[in-house]
């Protein structure tokens, strides 16, 4: 009886909140725009293999070449540097990774990097052909832009991979022509291991698949942590909260009504992100949808207590916003929403283990991207539930006390 | 006991070191309009908030509608309505939506609530605006809706905290009329706070004057005024064509002057004490070059009562300032006053 009365009143308060929300065109627009910006921003701001295209790279070919005996007979001029560049251009035409240009020497490359005209350079020394002809290794220098570690690393990796595979090709050919080893055998001698990359689920790894589940948990967290204190303290400032407090309704109804309203708002935003991720950014959901929805609701539950706690502490809307911001920013960046936790130093990883958002994002990611079942995320579920319960038990008496100061 | 709507006993509220309400004890009878009069920050609103169960008393007890405000707060809430300084209404919602939302919180059956909302809207002549958003209403219209919102549960006691604050004169008159009408028709007990003396005088059966958290006087407006007229304080209104700051300062510096208020360009109101005060005043005004056109001996208003009771503070501040040596004129009796008034 009592519980039904509390629930009935909270539904009315929730109805009021949503009605008020739906009447404001600006708020409705922001409801849709926020997840759109969020996805667009994180999707395009971070470098991924798909964004590594048309990087300007300059080549200084200083190779003087040499005259050598050819298998067909008489001596002829040969330049391994030009052959190397020909192959590099051919490979680059397929991938479109670099925009190649020419430079004279190291100084010019350095100057162009300093001017920001190119992101890297390749130097082939003058004795490249003669060294190789005399049975030594051909030296190639790759110059990178240290001021941009991400791009620099990317160029380093791709170039060394390209050059290595070109070297392998050359070695196979040499083995074949010099020692008459069959081609297939030659590959096995040079590269005894053949690695193939496979994921748990089909398809290429995609940054959106990493980031979308995290953003969904984050949006749900934000709608509770910002929405709840805001909704209550706004009404406190406006004086309308007194109207509810002076009515013979349970204080629980007020907070419950607000929680339901904010949950609906958070779920709508989460849903928008889902739709965007699937249709615009090609994210494939492998897990079960009910489990995904269940996890999102659990995320809501785990943050309700924290939201109420901030509401109880903050006497004014301004204070609430400040407290909330202070708490939310570390959560956003340290919970592995944008960057994998494994990349962080150990002490940061320890901190991140204390944040519920870490578990929410991880569980959702496992289910959405890897198609995991309930048993695989049971730890996360337990942590989220425990965190939510403990904070709720602390927050509710505090809220009741705060309402009759 | 039975005919009491409110009874407080040593009600106290402190915020840190600040004592907002200091051991306030009073009783309000059923069906009366009881006024709390006092300057801003005197503790009126805090007292109301405690009686409405919005704030817990630090000390003391009170019963509202027969229920203890701390132990039986839920019961108290069923029997009261609140019109607070800030309007309890959502701008994005229509008048009807606002009213039904708050009605629902009192578990009024749907059909009963609908009839009641219709009747109340008719009562304040706003039935045509039922489906318009509150945000589009004028302040006066909003406040009328706000008052009937507090009447939805047909409360025994209606608390009105500065109900005419920020309203234009026409709306103020409307709301005052509405308060009187509700009280006359339903017999609802009303607790009204105001810092406007006229409002308290017009509406209230009894008035508690509250200053710095304490009730300094409590009686009917008529009896309160007797406090002033019963003493040797006289309230004189001088009409002087040119009132300059130096003249005001000279009058204020007189020992017999309790307070001085300049009503407009040509009128000053002076509270003066003692038999010879009239002569002293006239002499001072003349010496300062003022020409007295008329003098009236005024009936004390509630404003005068307030000045009389709390005036000590005002006087203390004046006495701190350097006082000009005042001149004592020849003794005249009050007959001189009447003579001049007649003239």
What's the pLDDT tens digit per position in A18-61? 999 888 888 888 888 888 887 777 766 655 555 567 888 899 98
Report the C-alpha gap between B219 and B226 in whole angstroms: 10
Three-state DSSP state, B201? helix
Please report the pLDDT score of residue A45 as a whole number. Answer: 65
Per residue in B163-209, pLDDT (tens digit) is 988 888 889 999 999 999 999 999 999 999 988 878 888 899 999 98
**What residues in A contact B83, CB-CB < 8 Å?**
none
Residues sharing a CB contact under 8 Å with residue B38, sequence separation 6 or more, in sequence order: B44, B193, B195, B209, B210, B211
Q: Is the pLDDT of residue B333 over 80?
A: no
Q: Does B166 touch chain A (CB under 8 A)?
A: no
Contact B52 A240 (CB under 8 A): no
Is the Cβ–Cβ distance between B340 and B281 less than 8 Å?
A: no
pLDDT at residue B208, rounded to an integer: 92
Q: Give the separation between CA A332 and CA A297, rounded to whole angstroms.
A: 19
| Residues of A in Cβ contact (< 8 Å) with B148 | none
Residue A10 pLDDT: 93
Considering only A143-147, A233-237, B256-260, which range has the smallest mean pLDDT?
Answer: B256-260
Strand B59-64 versus strand B67-68 pairing type: antiparallel
Share of chain A above pLDDT 70, in %: 94
Residue B324: what pLDDT? Answer: 32
Interchain proximity A243–B82, CB inside 8 Å? yes
**Average pLDDT of the residues in A337-353:** 83
CB pairs under 8 A between A and B: 71
- Calculate mean pLDDT across residues A270-296: 84
Q: For residue B89, what are the CA distances in angstroms to A235, B80, B113?
A: 10, 17, 18
Going by pLDDT thresholds of 50, 70 and 90, the confidence category of residue B326 is very low
pLDDT at B330 over 60: no
Mean pLDDT of A253-280: 87
More confident residue, A113 or A149: A113
pLDDT recorded at residue B327: 34
Element (H, E) at A107: helix A106-114
B residues 128-157 closer than 8 Å to A (CB):
133, 149, 153
- CB contact (8 A) between residue A242 and residue B80: no
For chain A, the average pLDDT equals: 84
With 0-12 CB in 10 A as exposed, 13-18 as middle and 19+ as buried, what is B251?
A: buried
The span from the CA of B100 to the CA of B105, in Å, is 9
pLDDT for res A71 = 61
Q: How far is the C-alpha of B229 from the C-alpha of B224, rounded, in Å? A: 9
B-chain CB neighbours of A1 within 8 Å are: none
Phi, psi of B125 (to 5 degrees): 55, 45
Report, as an integer, the average pLDDT of A169-184: 83
Mean pLDDT across B78-84? 93
pLDDT at B83: 94
B2-5 contact pairs (CB < 8 A, 24+): B3/B29, B3/B30, B4/B28, B4/B29, B4/B30, B4/B63, B5/B29, B5/B30, B5/B31, B5/B32, B5/B64, B5/B65, B5/B156, B5/B157, B5/B189
Q: If we measure between CA atoms, which residue out of A260, A203, A308 comes closest to residue A15?
A: A260
Contact status of B51 with chain A (Cβ, < 8 Å) = no
Helical residues (DSSP H) of B187-276, grouped into ranges: 197-203, 221-229, 245-252
> Is the whole model's pTM more than 0.95, yes or no?
no
A405, closest residue in chain B (CA to CA): B55
Q: How confident is the model at residue A370 (pLDDT cuts 50, 70, 90)?
A: confident
Chain centroid to CA B67: 26
Q: Is B255 or A112 the better-scoring residue by pLDDT?
A: A112
Rounded Cα distance between B266 and B257, Å, is 19
**What mean pLDDT comes out for the span B219-243?**
81
Residue B341, pLDDT above cutoff 60: no
Which residues sit opposite B61 in a β-bridge?
B9
By DSSP bridging, strand A120-124 and strand A55-61 are: parallel
Long-range contacts of A374-379 (CB under 8 A, 24+ apart): A374/A291, A377/A295
CA distance A232 to A298: 22
Residue A169 has pLDDT above 90, yes or no: no
The SS3 of residue B297 is: strand
Rounded-to-integer distance, Cα B37 and Cα B195, Å: 6
Mean per-residue pLDDT of chain B: 83
Interface membership of B71 toward A (CB under 8 Å): no
Largest CA distance in chain B: 78
The shortest C-alpha distance from B168 to chain A (Å) reads 21
Residues in contact with B11: Cβ distance below 8 Å, sequence separation at least 6, in sequence order: B21, B23, B24, B25, B47, B50, B57, B59, B60, B61, B62
**What confidence tier does A203 reach under pLDDT thresholds 50, 70, 90?**
low
- Quick one: average pLDDT of A368-386? 89
Output the pLDDT for position A73: 63
Predicted confidence band of residue B93 (pLDDT cuts 50, 70, 90): very high
Over residues A146-155, the mean pLDDT reads 80
Most confident segment among A158-172, A230-244, B322-336: A230-244
Report which listed range, A212-226, A285-299, A367-381, B50-64, is most confident: B50-64
- Between residues B170 and B318, the one the model is more confident about: B170
Is 90 exceeded by the pLDDT of residue B211? no
Distance CA B205, CA B219 (A): 9
- Residues A49-96: pLDDT tens digits? 555 678 888 999 888 888 876 666 667 788 888 888 888 888 888 877
The rounded distance, in Å, linking the Cα atoms of B91 and A23 is 10
Judge: A24–B92 Cβ closer than 8 Å, yes or no: yes
Give pLDDT tens digits for B269-310: 888 877 788 888 888 888 888 888 888 887 777 777 777 777
Looking at chain B, the whole-number percentage of residues with pLDDT higher than 90 is: 46
Residue A349 C-alpha, separation from nearest chain B C-alpha, in angstroms: 43
**Is A337's pLDDT higher than 60?**
yes
B106 in A contact zone (CB under 8 Å): yes
Who's near A174: CB < 8 A, 6+ residues apart?
none
The residues, ordered by sequence, that sit 6+ positions from A76 with a Cβ below 8 Å of its Cβ are A67, A68, A70
Residues of chain B positioned with their CB less than 8 A from the CB of A247: 77, 102, 105-106, 153
Q: How far apart are CA A114 and CA A355, in angstroms?
A: 42
Which one of A15, A243, A245, A250 makes the best mutation probe of the B interface by having the most chain B beta carbons within 10 Å?
A243
């Amino acid at each position: 009886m009592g519980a039904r009365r509390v629930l009935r009143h909270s539904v009315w308060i929730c109805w009021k909140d949503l009605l008020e929300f739906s009447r404001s065109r600006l708020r409705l627009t922001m409801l849709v725009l926020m997840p759109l910006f969020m996805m667009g921003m994180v999707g395009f701001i971070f470098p991924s293999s798909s964004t590594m295209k048309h990087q300007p790279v300059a080549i200084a070919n200083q190779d003087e070449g040499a005259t050598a005996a050819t298998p067909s007979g008489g001596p002829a001029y040969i330049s391994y540097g030009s052959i190397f560049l020909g192959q590099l251009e051919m490979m680059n035409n397929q991938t479109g990774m670099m925009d190649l240009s020419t430079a004279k020497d190291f100084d010019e490359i350095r100057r162009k990097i300093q001017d920001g005209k190119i992101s890297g350079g390749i130097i082939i020394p003058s004795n490249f052909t003669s060294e190789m002809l005399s049975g030594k290794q051909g030296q190639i220098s790759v110059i990178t832009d240290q001021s941009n570690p991400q791009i620099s690393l990317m160029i380093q990796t791709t170039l060394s991979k390209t050059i290595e595979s070109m070297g392998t090709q050359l070695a196979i050919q040499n083995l074949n022509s010099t020692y008459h080893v069959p081609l297939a055998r030659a590959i096995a001698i040079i590269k005894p291991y053949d690695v193939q990359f496979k994921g748990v689920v089909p398809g290429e790894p995609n940054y959106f698949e990493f980031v979308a589940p995290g953003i969904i948990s984050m949006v749900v967290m934000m709608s509770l942590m910002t929405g709840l204190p805001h909704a209550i303290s706004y009404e406190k400032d406006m004086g309308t909260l007194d109207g509810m407090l002076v009515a013979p309704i349970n204080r629980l109804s007020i907070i419950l009504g607000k929680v339901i309203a904010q949950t609906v708002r958070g779920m709508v935003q989460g849903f928008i992100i889902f739709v965007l991720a699937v249709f615009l950014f090609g994210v494939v959901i492998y897990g079960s949808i009910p489990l995904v929805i269940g996890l999102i609701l659990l995320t809501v539950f785990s943050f309700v207590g924290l939201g109420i706690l901030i509401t109880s502490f903050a006497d004014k809307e301004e204070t609430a916003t400040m407290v909330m911001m202070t708490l939310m920013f570390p959560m956003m960046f340290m919970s592995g929403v944008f960057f994998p936790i494994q990349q962080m130093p150990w002490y940061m990883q320890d901190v991140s283990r204390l944040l519920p958002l870490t578990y929410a994002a991880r569980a959702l990611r496992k289910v959405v991207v890897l198609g995991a079942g309930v048993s695989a995320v049971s730890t996360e579920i337990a942590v989220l539930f425990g965190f939510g319960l403990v904070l709720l038990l602390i927050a509710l008496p505090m809220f009741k006390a705060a309402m009759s100061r | 006991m039975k005919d009491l709507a409110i009874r407080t006993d040593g009600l106290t509220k402190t915020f840190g070191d600040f004592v907002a309400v200091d051991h306030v004890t009073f009783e309000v009878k059923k069906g009366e309009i009881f006024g709390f009069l006092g300057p801003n920050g005197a503790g009126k609103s805090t007292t109301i908030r405690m009686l409405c169960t919005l704030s817990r008393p630090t000390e003391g007890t009170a019963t509202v509608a027969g229920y203890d405000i701390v132990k039986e707060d839920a019961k108290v809430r069923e029997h009261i309505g609140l019109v607070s300084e800030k309007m309890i209404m959502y701008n994005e919602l229509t008048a009807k939506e606002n009213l039904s939302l708050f009605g629902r919180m009192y578990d009024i059956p749907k059909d009963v609530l609908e009839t009641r909302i219709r009747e109340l809207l008719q009562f304040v002549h706003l039935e045509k605006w039922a489906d318009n958003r509150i945000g589009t209403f004028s302040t006066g219209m909003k406040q009328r809706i706000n008052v009937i919102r507090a009447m939805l549960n047909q409360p025994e006691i209606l608390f009105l905290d500065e109900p005419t604050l920020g309203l234009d004169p026409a709306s103020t008159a409307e709301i005052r009329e509405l308060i009187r009408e509700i009280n006359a028709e339903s017999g609802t007990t009303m607790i009204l706070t105001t810092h406007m003396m006229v409002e308290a005088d017009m509406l209230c059966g009894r008035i508690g004057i509250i200053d710095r958290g304490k009730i300094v006087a409590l009686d009917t407006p008529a009896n309160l005024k007797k406090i002033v007229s019963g003493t040797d304080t006289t309230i004189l209104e001088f009409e002087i064509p040119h009132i300059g700051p130096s003249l005001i300062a000279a009058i204020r510096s007189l020992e017999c002057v309790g307070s001085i208020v300049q009503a407009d360009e040509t009128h000053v109101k002076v509270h003066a004490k003692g038999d010879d005060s009239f002569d002293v005043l006239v002499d001072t005004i003349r010496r300062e070059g003022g020409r007295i056109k008329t003098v009236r001996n005024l009936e004390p208003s509630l404003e005068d009562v307030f000045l009389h009771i709390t005036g000590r503070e005002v006087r203390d501040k004046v006495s701190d300032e350097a006082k000009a040596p005042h001149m004592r004129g020849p003794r005249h009796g009050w007959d001189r006053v009447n003579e001049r008034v007649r003239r």
